[in-house]
Structure 1
Amino acid sequence: MATTAHQAQYLEDRYYSVLEDPSGHLPIAAVSSPAWASHFATLAGTSLPPNIRHPRSTYWLRFTVLADARLAADWYLELYDPHIGSATLFRPAAAGLALAYDSVTTGANYPFATRPLPYKNFLFNLGLRHGQPTTYYLRLRSDTPTSFRAMLHSGPALIPEMSLQYWLLGGFYGVLFIMLVYNLFLFFFLKEKSYIHYVFYVLSGALLFLSEDGLGFQYMWPFSAPLNHFIGAVAPVLLLLTFAQYARSFLDTAARLPVLDQHIRWVVSLSGALLVLDVALIHSGFSFWLYLLPYGLLYYAAWRAYRGGLRPARYLLLAQALVAGSLTFLICRKLGIDFYNNAYTVYSLNVAFVIEVAVLSYALADKIKGLMDTTLVTQRRLLKQLRKRHQAQDQLLEQLRENQALKDQLNSELEALVARRTDELRQQNDTIAAQNRELLETNGLLALQSAAIEQLNSDLSRDLQDQKHARLQAREFDFGEFSQLYPDKDACLRYLADLKWQGGYRCRKCGHEKSCEAREPFARRCTRCRYVESATTGTLLQKCKFPIVKALYAVFLLHAHRGRYAPAELARVLELRPATSWSFAQKVLAALQRRSHAPTSSTASPGPMCCWTARLM
């Protein structure tokens, strides 16, 4: 490229060629030799961005400047990206030394004092040889993807431009300081938490811009390059967290949008953790994509709040739209996309942030004003209600006085009436007492008669039961009468359970003698092995396929006729299939035959049904 009368020229990609050194150990003697000249490639006409794409590699930039002999001023090379870890400019040495170069090294990994000129960006004196071309080599190395953006400045125009930038940046930070102090005082006076969240957001933004424009490294922490790296990495995360807290407080999402508020908290926390992880371990350099989701979600929350009736949210939407537009230029520069890259777009984020800070402060004031107006309207409404209530209370007091006078009059009349009525009641009580004595005597006689009747009923019931058992013993019961004695399955199971465990329970599996009730009616569960035994287990009625009442009656009939009861007749009486009747009869006859040869159990208690029901066991 050739210097012209213009005071500044961008170092476009068509003016330089690039060599990537993955090892990072190539010396200037090798790079500048003719053998390596063919390894340099220009980025012009390619889709490759002018960036450090591989942070572990060293990049060499070679460019040639032809100085106009008529322009005797010095020229300077300015690198715009303040996050380049190491930048070394190799200039041709004095005349007579072939392939000899002087070097100047600085960068974000070095203290600020190593810079050849005390400027917020990296600035190198080219030392041009006027009237002849001069080739320069620029070695760049960085832990994060950074840009090759650079500009050539002439000496006479450099000082005014630097002064203008410092004045503009001073005004920018002055506005931030004023807004910060103003809202801090408002917080102390109004005790509104949104103001302190706003203050922290402005502080985080100021810290981010101090790291991005290099003023923080120049004036606040010039002796600590690691601190500069740390602040540059942490400031965007702090900005995200403080803005999320301010937006949630300003929009009152916890009350207005509780579900969305939970999502915002999770997304912001996860994004912050991923950003810290990227800074500490991954070093991708593209972590700015992680900001899109939380900021987009906060923008959506502002839109929902505005649709829900929070009119100050429109200011938040406007401010974020301005910042989003300026961030577009920043992302394009990070990606190496040539999209309106000029001084206006470079500092558009500063302008947008100032406007955002002012708009958000106004929005916060508008919200507080709206709350105060609502409070005043509510207070006026309450005052009117209090006046009406006082009037109603006065009317009520007057009514109470009238009621008290009327009550006193009524009390006097009632006292006289009560006294007269008391005498009448006393006379009636005496009469009632005499009648009560007569009733007590009558009740005593009725109680004696009732006891006699109950005794008679008990005797009759016992005689009737004895008669039924006698008939059952005499084998005179038909199925209808038998069903009255054992009307349903529960009655039969109850009888079987009493008969089966009349001598005490003993588990069939483990022999344990303690049990508890089971879920099945009249069954027992062993308290040791948990074995469940039903009332029919081990009896003739186990696994019976027809109603247990009929089965019990069949046992009675077969026992009553000593086994000489035809299965066909049994099937007819019980309304069973002949095969079922014959199978069950054979089972009962076999049991009768076994029991006739076995000694009588000593545990069976005597009773009217022992003679035939013992055959069930």
Structure 2
Amino acid sequence: MFKMLLRTAVFLLFLFCFISADAQKAVVFNKKSYEHIFVRGEIVALEDPESKLTFEEISSETYHHKFLTNVDYYPKNYNRNSSYWYRIKVRFEEDLDKSSVIEFFDQVTDYIDAYVPDQDGKYIHAKTGADLAFNERLFKHKNFEFLIKNLKKGDYYYYFKVKSKDRVNVIIVFRTVERFIQYGLTEYLTYGLFYGMIFIFSFHNLLMYLAVRRKQYLYYILYIISVGLYEVSIDGIAYQYLWPQHPVWNEYAYGIALFCISSFALIFTKELLHVKQKAPFYFKLINIVLALRLLFFLLCLFYNPDWFKYKFIEFIPLSVGFITGIYILWRKKYRPARFFVVGYSFLFLGFVIKIIHILGYARHIPGALGYYSLSFGFLLEMVFLSFAIGDQVRILKRKKENAQKQIIKQMQLNAEMQENLNRELEAKVEQRTTEVKKQAIALQQQNETIEQQNEELLLKNTLLQDQSEEISRMNVLLEKDNINLKTSIEKVTDARVNATELDFDEFSQKYPDKESCYKFLSELKWESGYSCLKCHHTNYCNGKVPYNRRCTKCAYEESVLHHTIFENNRIPINKAFYLVYLMYNSKGTISSHKLSDKLGIRQSTCWTYASKVKKVMEERKKDLRGSGKSGWSKIVLDKKA
């Protein structure tokens, strides 16, 4: 049962297609007909997936009924890998005594093969397209035209083969040559006005940038130039005048222009609306969108240029800029944002109308408005963005004028304060002058008194100078006596240290402090010369601690206490010296209690140090024989030293 229903449906569909194709509606023209756009049922189409069908096959009876009636307002090549054959039927009610053209609108169509009938029933083949050099076109026009010469009345079939990498709207238009010339002149004049306005806007803002040096003008100029580049690329004007011999550039120009439009529009938005200060979240969002848009552009440019065709992606940066302007206007009450929002509203509206027109749903919108809606949107946006910049400049000017008024007011206050201060200073100066005059008289009297005193002092100075010379001579003699006396005292002290047992006060005359002890250890330790313990280098410099020595080659610093009996010492060094001295003189028999009384140190500490010294004395008993009283200094150094 299901198979029978399926066969019946297929048969009815085939019958419907057969009847629809066979009964293709003929478009009637007469001498008064000057223009007609073919839509919906006036066009039949046939898809050629492998692009192998020839015109002879297509025009044969076998394929005559295979053409399907177009269901869209304008036909489209939904499968971009296929070729599409389109056929229109024209009926001339009278002899056509003037030349006409068949025109295709979509400038990105790669190849169009036209088979145009003549009055003898033969077909003339003509070829054009965006992938062919511009000078190969019959008419040097941005659109694609095919000439229709004089024909007799009757019915004629026209065949067109379309193949394109982009999805295109196959808009087929019949025009007389007179109408085509009128239309072409009007169109190019409109383009001239449009691009002239772009040039004027750019030049005006360039002058403003040179005058005030605000970056927003520079970004706005780059944005306008990007819009112009996109429009000339899409309209075919760039191909006609800029690179007519290089059709491959058509595949990249509009993509590059769209990237520049998105980027400079968002950068201009950040600069004009001060987004970083007024809306930090949207500032970060814009930066993210800019980075992603750059990534997508690089992928299109170097990986797959076909991705440039996804123009709808520009809806994202457009929306982000639009929403940012609305937020700053609504929440931050920033006045220039109102013109910005209005301008973006027109651009947004033009973008929507353009999409509707491309999809074939804008039947009630005039053709020019629908086809050029995006251009009108760009134009109105540029006007209102200029108003926004002007409004911002007026606000800044108003702020500057207010600031100048405040400065002038403050300067007047400063001038009044300066006058009052000058009056006060003049009064104080006058008062001070009177005081100074009085002081001058008093000083003059004092100077006279001082002159008299100076004369007396001169006489006294002469006497003092004589006395000073005598005192100096006596001091020289005393100094010599002191040097001799000091030397004698040191000799006596050394003799007493080596000869008898001294108390701590007498011993301290020889080693009064830490520095004298360190000096003695340094001379004793390096008596035979310095040699680094690490690298055996013999040159040194002073270390961080007095009498330490630092190697100039490896920077190793050797302590003066290292390899001595005083290493890791925890009592004052001069007392440690005296302890060693007492232990040596007593040959180790002095008790720790007596050492504690003499040194003022705890008995346990004295016992620990005395044990250490006594052990060293036992180990060096042979070395200390015959050393006399001065042998105590020989137990200071370790044998390693």
TM-score w.r.t. length of structure 2: 0.64
State the partner residue of 1:61.
84
Distance 1:485 1:123, change over 3 A: farther
User: 2:496 pairs with 448, 454, 470, which one?
Assistant: 470
Q: Deviations over 1:160-205 (max 9, x none)?
A: 8777755654553454355456556767887877656645543442
Match of 2:633 in 1: 610
Q: Once the 2 structures are TM-superposed, how far is the Cα of residue 596 of structure 1 from its aligned partner?
A: 4.7
Q: CA deviation at 1:147?
A: 1.7
Aligned twin of 2:340: 316
- 1:538 deviates by 4.1
Deviation at 1:292, TM superposition (A): 7.6
- Corresponding residue for residue 8 of structure 2: none
Matched AA of 1:312: P
Q: Which amino acid counterpart does residue 575 of structure 1 have in structure 2?
A: S
Q: Does 1:516 align with 2:541?
A: yes
Aligned partner (choices 207, 214, 236) of residue 229 of structure 2:
207
Is the contact between residue 620 and residue 635 of structure 2 (CA under 8 Å) also seen in structure 1? no
What's the CA shift string for 1:404-446, capped at 9, x where partnerless?
A: 7667766665554444443344455556767878988999999
Residues 110-149 of structure 1: matches in 2 within 5 Å?
110-116=132-138, 119-123=141-145, 137-140=161-164, 142=165, 146-149=166-169
2:269 & 2:581 partners in 1: Cα distance? Answer: 89
Change (3 A) 1:475 1:331: farther
Tell me how far 1:214 sits from its aligned partner: 1.9
Counterpart contact for 1:470–1:608, Cα < 8 Å: no
Inter-partner Cα distance in structure 2 for 1:590 and 1:87: 116
Q: Which of residues 604, 615, 636 is equivalent to 1:575? A: 604
* Equivalent position of 1:377 in the other structure: 402
Alignment of 1:71-110 (within 5 A): 76=102, 78-80=104-106, 82-84=107-109, 86-89=110-113, 91=115, 103-110=125-132
Residue deviations 1:357-400 (CA, integer Å, cap 9, x gap): 11122222223333333343344444444555555666667677
Please list the CA deviations of residues 71-128 of structure 1 after superposition, one character each: whole Å capped at 9, or x if unmatched: 9999956352x234x313364989999xx98654322232334335554333568999
What's the secondary structure of 2:131's corresponding residue?
coil
Secondary structure of residue in 2 paired with 1:319: helix
Give the residue type in structure 1 aligned to 2:623. R
Q: Is the aligned partner of 1:352 residue 2:380?
A: no
Within a 5 Å distance, the mapping from 1:246-257 to structure 2 comes to: 250=272
Deviation, 1:511, is 3.9
Q: Flag structure 2 segments of 5+ consecutive residues without an equivalent.
A: 1-20, 29-35
Give the 3-state SS of the residue equivalent to 1:88 in structure 2: strand
CA contact (8 A) 1:515 1:524 kept: yes
Q: Among all aligned residue pairs of Structure 1 and Structure 2, give the percentage whose two residues are the same amino acid.
A: 20
In the alignment, residue 470 of structure 1 is paired with which amino acid? R
Residues 1:527 and 2:540 are matched in the alignment: no
Contact 1:329/1:339 (CA < 8 Å) preserved in 2? Answer: no
Contact 2:498 2:630 in 1 (8 A): no
Deviation at 1:530, TM superposition (A): 4.4
Report the counterpart of residue 620 of structure 2 in structure 1.
592
CA 1:254/1:530 → structure 2, altered by over 3 Å: closer, same or farther? same
1:500-550 CA deviation, whole Å, 9 max, x = no partner? 1133212345543211234576443333354443334444556x5976959
Using the TM superposition, name which of 378-387 and 485-494 deviates more. 485-494
Residue type matched to 1:89 in 2? D
Whether contact under 8 Å (1:558, 1:564) holds in the other structure is yes
- Tell me how far apart the structure 2 counterparts of residues 216 and 183 of structure 1 sit (CA, whole Å): 24
Looking at structure 1, the residues matched to 516 and 576 of structure 2 have their Cα atoms a distance apart, in angstroms, of 13
Q: Distance in 1 between matches of 2:321 and 2:603?
A: 83
Q: For the residues of structure 1 that align with 2:94 and 2:496, how far apart are their CA atoms?
A: 144
Alignment pair present for 1:285 and 2:307: yes
Name the aligned partner's letter for residue 147 of structure 1: R
Secondary structure, aligned partner of 1:285: helix
d(CA) in 2 for partners of 1:401, 1:461: 73
Asked if the contact 1:8/1:152 (under 8 Å) is kept, the reply is: yes
Moved more, 276-285 or 439-448: 439-448
- Give the Cα–Cα distance (whole angstroms) in 2 for the partners of residues 477 and 114 of structure 1: 125
Matched, 1:361 2:389: no
User: Does the 8 Å CA contact 1:187/1:193 hold for their aligned counterparts?
Assistant: yes
Q: Note the 1:140-219 alignment, pairs <5 A.
A: 140=164, 142=165, 146-155=166-175, 159=180, 169=191, 171-177=193-199, 179-180=201-202, 198-199=220-221, 201-218=223-240
Q: Indicate the SS of the match to 1:89.
A: strand
**Change over 3 Å in CA distance of 1:495–1:15 after alignment to 2:** farther
Give 1:500's aligned amino acid: K
Question: One-letter code of the match for 2:389?
Answer: L
**1:411-490 aligned within 5 A:** 415-427=440-452, 470=496, 474=500
Q: Structure 1 101/587 Cα, relative in aligned 2: closer, same or farther at 3 Å?
A: farther
Q: What is the CA-CA distance between 1:209 and the residue it aligns to?
A: 1.0
Distance in structure 1 (CA, Å) of the matches to 2:509 and 2:61: 123
Please give the alpha-carbon distance, in whole angstroms, between the structure 1 residues aligned to 2:56 and 2:566.
107
Alignment partners' CA distance in 1, 2:584 and 2:426: 95
- How far the C-alpha of 1:585 sits from its partner, in A, is 6.0
Q: Distance in 1 between matches of 2:503 and 2:57?
A: 124
Counterpart amino acid of 1:514? N
Give the AA of the match of 1:319. G
Give distance in 2, aligned partners of 1:386 and 1:434: 65
Distance of 1:581 and 1:390 partners within structure 2 = 85
- Shift of residue 559, structure 1, vs aligned partner: 3.8
Which residue of 2 is the match for residue 603 of structure 1? none
Contact 1:555 1:588 in 2 (8 A): no
Q: Is the 8 A contact 1:11 1:151 kept in 2?
A: no
Aligned partner letter, 2:347: V
Q: Aligned partner of 1:423: which letter?
A: E
**Pairs aligned (count):** 586
Amino acid at match of 1:361: S
Q: Which one-letter code corresponds to 2:392 in the other structure?
A: K
Distance of 2:312 and 2:510 partners within structure 1: 88
1:18-57, aligned counterparts within 5 Å?
18=47, 26=52, 28=54
26-35 vs 492-501, which deviates more? Answer: 26-35
Q: Closer, same or farther in 2 for the Cα pair 1:3/1:361, shift >3 Å?
A: farther
5+ residue gaps, structure 1, are 601-605
Counterpart Cα distance in 1 of 2:511 and 2:69: 109
> Which residue does the alignment assign to 1:498?
523
Q: Which amino acid is the alignment partner of residue 88 of structure 1?
A: I
Q: Which amino acid aligns with 1:515?
A: Y
- In structure 2, what residue type is equivalent to 1:217? Y
TM-score, structure 1 normalization: 0.66
What is the alpha-carbon root mean square deviation over aligned residues? 6.4
1:125-165 deviation line (CA, Å, top 9, x unaligned): 8999987988754222x4xxx22322243547985877775
What is the identity, as a one-letter code, of the residue corresponding to 2:229? L
The residue matched to 1:149 in structure 2 has which SS?
A: coil
Q: Secondary structure at the match of 2:104?
A: strand
